[in-house]
Each structure stands twice: as structure tokens, then as C-alpha cells.
């Protein structure tokens, strides 16, 4: 008999951890809409005035996301562009952003998030984070592109100045190092407020 | 101007992460009641039928905990014993246990949790965890006893068999390695149910 992990599952833990931030969020970004499960989660746990941007480069993924989140469509902006073009689309400060990296559905395993566009999207998101705004990233180092992404993120996030951002990592201790893990980034100072 | 960290604060993140487990918990243990803040948090986020055991070896700490949690006293058992004697007191399976390690209040910095009793208490808690039961530990490696405790926990928890327990660690990436961090342990198989 198999049991479902609850608290210790990385994605579940991250989702539980961001609920307080989501409840207060006005502008939310799902940088990797995929099949729409995370967009739905974000919509379900934000207030009626929160606006959600859902990015995906695949029409089929965005169609699935739109169907799955139909009940919340009036406050979701579905964006058929790379998350690396986020700053062309999102004018507001961002209160919460989520990157659930890795393969995109419907295209087999040949379409996955990539080091360069993920770094660029992350850079844009962090620049637009509001004070106490939160960015979470779920990382899948078990495939080649994911491994490269993981290495890039470790370098990039380790280098963030602690006066500006707090970066945490939730990682399984007694599983393979290729198991998925998560980063939580919080902006703790806005440069313009120095 | 100083800002309060929310999601990225280790204790806050852990507390948010265990809310779903707490909502379902029937038997809860605060292994380190201290000044009672965590006991209060556990009482506030459990149902009316949940029973909470609060352990502390200091009468003053337990008195403070009792005062702080007076509104929930009818379902809290205040235990003036070491958490290493937990199995003499708690008969039931445990759904959630919390260890917020380090100094005890009211005695300066000369009374702190210790490697041997923490290991023994943890062993007893894990043995009594129910299926999908969760044990969280907040670790403070910035002082000498805390550093020894941290080393013991890393060894102890790394060695837990993944078929029985999932062990996760939430740690800050861009802060000092002596910053507090947390473990989340979930029982994913009961031996008797093999």
C-alpha cells in the first residue's frame, strides 16, 4: 500500500507556506502555467481583487489552464509569451510569483524550461517584487536541462544580497539529490526606499 | 527602517507549512514549551478535540506557558519533565510534534536543550508518530550546544529510511550557516502495517 506524503512533499509544503502571502497578494504571477494546476491553486487562495498573470509559451497549455481556471477567468490574464518577456506585460509590482520548472505538458519531454529564459524571467520578477513579496521556484534536477537550471539557480540565488532578499531552500535530506526541491525568495528591502 | 520577514523567516515558514497537518491532528506535542508561544500557536490551530502535551523541565517556563495558553487549558497537559521521558507520559500515537530547540527562558543562556536528551526525545516521538504524522525541529547552530545538536540531528535524520520517513530541511541560502534552520519529518509508513 502506498501513502501520499503531505507536509514533506516539496510542492505541498511550498504551497502551504505561501498561503499567508497569497491571502494578502494583489498581483500574482504563475510564470509556468503548464496544465494550470498551480494557476488554479493561486486563484483559489487569493482574494476577489487579486489579479493573476499566467504565462506559457504553448497554446495548448494555456488552453488547458484557461479551462481549468474558468471560474476565476475574470481576474486571470492568460499570456501566450515566454516568462522572459514578463516586464513587457506586467506593469504592477508583483506580490507573489511561482515558477514550477521543468517539462511542459503536451509536448513530451522535448519542451522544458531553459536556463537562459528562466534566469531572465527570475531577474525581471525579483526586480518587480513588492516589499515582502515572495517568489517560489520548484526545481527538478533529475533531467539534464533541469540540472543546468538547478546549478544556475544555486549560483544566482546564493549571490543575492541578504539586505535585499532572504533566500531559503527546502530540500529532502534522506532522498536522492536529484529529487525536486524548492527555493523561497522574499524581498526584504526595496532599493528605492534605502 | 526595519522590515519583518514573513515567508522566509524559518519559524514562520514552518508554522505555515504545518497548518494543514495541525487542522487534522488529535494528539500534539510541544517538546520544548519554553515561554509558551509555540504551545499557544499549536492550541490556536488545532480542533476542539485535539489534546496537546507541553513539556518543559523548568517550573517557571511551564507557569508562563500555562498563563499564555489559559484559554485552551482544558485540552493541554502541562508536563514538568524532560521531553526524553515522553514515552512515560504520552500513551497515544502522536500526529504532530514540535521541537523549537535552544535556550530556555528565565535561566539566562546556561540552560539549553542538550544533544543526548534531544536525540532520545526525538527517537521516542518518531516511534510514536502516526501515519502521515509530522515532527518539526527548529535548530539554532549559532551557539556551542546548538552546534552539537545540529550535527547530531543531521546524522540522525539523514539515516532515516526513506520508505518510513520523509525528511526535509529548510535552510537559508544567502545567510550565515549559523542562522537557524528547520527540519520537517513525516512518517510515510507504519512498521506494523508492512
pLDDT in tens, A83-105: 999 999 999 999 999 999 987 76
Return all residues near A4 (Cβ < 8 A) that are at least 6 apart.
B132
A5–B167: do the CB atoms touch at under 8 Å?
no
Residue B107 has pLDDT above 90, yes or no: no
Percent of chain B with pLDDT over 90: 82
Q: Which residues in chain B have their CB less than 8 angstroms from residue A183's CB? A: 173
CATH class given for the domain over B10-193: alpha beta
pLDDT of residue A1: 36
pLDDT of residue B103: 78
B6-18 residue pLDDT tens: 666 899 999 999 9
In the predicted model, what is the mean pLDDT of chain B? 91
Q: Which of B154, B172, B184 sits opposite A168 (nearest CB)?
A: B172
pLDDT of residue A111: 73
Residue B141 has pLDDT above 60, yes or no: yes
Percent of chain A with pLDDT over 70: 91
In chain B, where the domains are located:
10-193
Residue A3 pLDDT class (50, 70, 90 cuts): very low
The number of beta carbons lying within 10 Å of the beta carbon of residue B163 is 10
Q: Which of B13, B18, B159 sits opposite A168 (nearest CB)?
A: B13
Lowest mean pLDDT among A75-79, A113-117, A161-165: A113-117
In the predicted model, what is the mean pLDDT of chain A? 91
The CATH architecture one would assign to domain A10-167 is: 3-Layer(aba) Sandwich (3.40)
pLDDT of residue A190: 78
A12-31 residue pLDDT tens: 999 999 999 999 999 999 99
pLDDT of residue A107: 62
Q: Which of B3, B19, B132 sits opposite A3 (nearest CB)?
A: B132
Distance (Å, whole) CA B4 – CA B12: 11
B129: enclosing H helix or E strand:
strand B129-139
Count of residues making up chain A = 194
Residue A8 pLDDT class (50, 70, 90 cuts): low
Q: Judge whether B18 and B10 are in contact, CB under 8 Å.
A: no
Distance (Å, whole) CA B87 – CA B100: 19
Which three cell numbers mark B17?
507549512
pLDDT of residue A7: 66
B64-106 residue pLDDT tens: 999 999 999 999 999 999 999 999 999 999 999 999 998 776 6
Q: What are phi and psi of B59, to 5 degrees?
A: -60, -45
How many angstroms separate the CA of residue A107 from the nearest CA in chain B? 32
pLDDT of residue B108: 63
pLDDT of residue A109: 64
The number of beta carbons lying within 10 Å of the beta carbon of residue B20 is 18
Residue B167 or residue A107, greater confidence? B167
Which three cell numbers mark B149?
545538536
Asked whether the ipTM of the predicted complex exceeds the cut of 0.85, the reply is yes
Chain B contact probe: residue of A18, A171, A174 with most B CBs at under 10 A: A174
Chain A contact probe: residue of B1, B2, B6 with most A CBs at under 10 A: B6
Nearest to B35 by CA among B17, B54, B53: B54
Distance (Å, whole) CA A24 – CA A28: 10
Residue in the block written with cell 505541498: A12
- Alpha carbon distances (Å) from B160 to A30, A175, B127: 35, 10, 12
Amino acid at each position: 500500500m502506498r501513502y501520499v506524503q503531505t507536509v514533506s512533499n516539496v510542492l505541498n509544503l511550498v504551497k502551504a507556506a505561501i498561503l499567508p502571502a497569497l491571502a494578502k497578494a494583489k498581483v500574482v504571477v504563475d510564470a509556468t502555467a503548464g496544465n494550470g494546476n498551480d494557476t488554479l491553486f493561486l486563484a483559489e487562495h487569493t482574494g476577489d481583487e487579486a489579479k493573476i498573470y499566467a504565462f506559457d509559451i504553448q497554446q495548448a497549455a494555456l488552453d488547458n489552464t484557461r479551462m481549468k481556471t474558468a471560474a476565476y477567468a475574470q481576474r486571470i490574464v492568460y499570456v501566450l509569451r515566454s516568462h522572459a518577456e514578463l516586464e513587457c506585460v506586467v506593469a504592477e509590482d508583483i506580490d507573489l510569483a511561482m515558477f514550477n520548472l521543468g517539462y511542459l505538458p503536451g509536448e513530451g519531454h522535448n519542451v522544458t524550461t531553459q536556463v537562459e529564459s528562466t534566469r531572465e524571467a527570475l531577474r525581471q520578477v525579483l526586480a518587480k517584487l513588492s516589499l515582502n513579496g515572495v517568489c517560489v521556484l520548484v526545481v527538478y534536477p533529475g533531467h539534464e536541462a533541469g540540472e543546468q537550471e538547478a546549478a544556475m539557480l544555486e549560483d544566482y540565488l546564493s549571490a543575492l544580497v541578504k539586505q535585499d532578499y532572504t533566500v531559503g531552500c527546502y530540500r529532502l535530506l534522506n532522498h536522492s539529490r536529484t529529487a525536486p526541491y524548492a527555493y523561497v525568495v522574499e524581498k526584504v528591502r526595496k532599493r528605492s526606499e534605502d
